[in-house]
Amino acid sequence: MAKAVKKAALGRGLSALLSDPNNDIKSVQDKNAEKLVGSIIEIELNTIEVNPFQPRSNFNEEQIQELASSIRELGLIQPITVRKTDFNRYQLISGERRYRACKSLGLTTIPAYIRLANDQESLEMALVENIQRQELDPIEIALSYQRLIDEIQLTQEQMSERVGKKRSTIANYLRLLKLNPIIQTGMRDDFISMGHGRALINIEDEDVQLDIYHKIIKQNLSVRDTENLVKRHQQEVSPKKKSAKNDKSFPITREAQKNISDFFSASADIKVAATGKGKITIPFYSEEDFNRILELVSNKSE
Active-site residue flag, 96:
yes
**Dihedral, 262, 268, 272, 278 alpha carbons, nearest 10:** -110
Task: Identify residue 277 by its one-letter amino acid code.
Answer: K
CA dist 106 to 69, 77, 98, 148, 238, Å? 12, 17, 13, 35, 63
Phi and psi torsions of 83, nearest 5°: -120, 150
Among 49, 61, 96, 151, the active-site one is 96
Vertex 59 angle, CA 53 and 60, to 5° = 170
Beta-bridged to residue 48, according to DSSP, are: 90
* Paired strand residues for 109: 44
Q: How many residues are listed for the chain in this entry? A: 302
Catalytic amino acids?
96
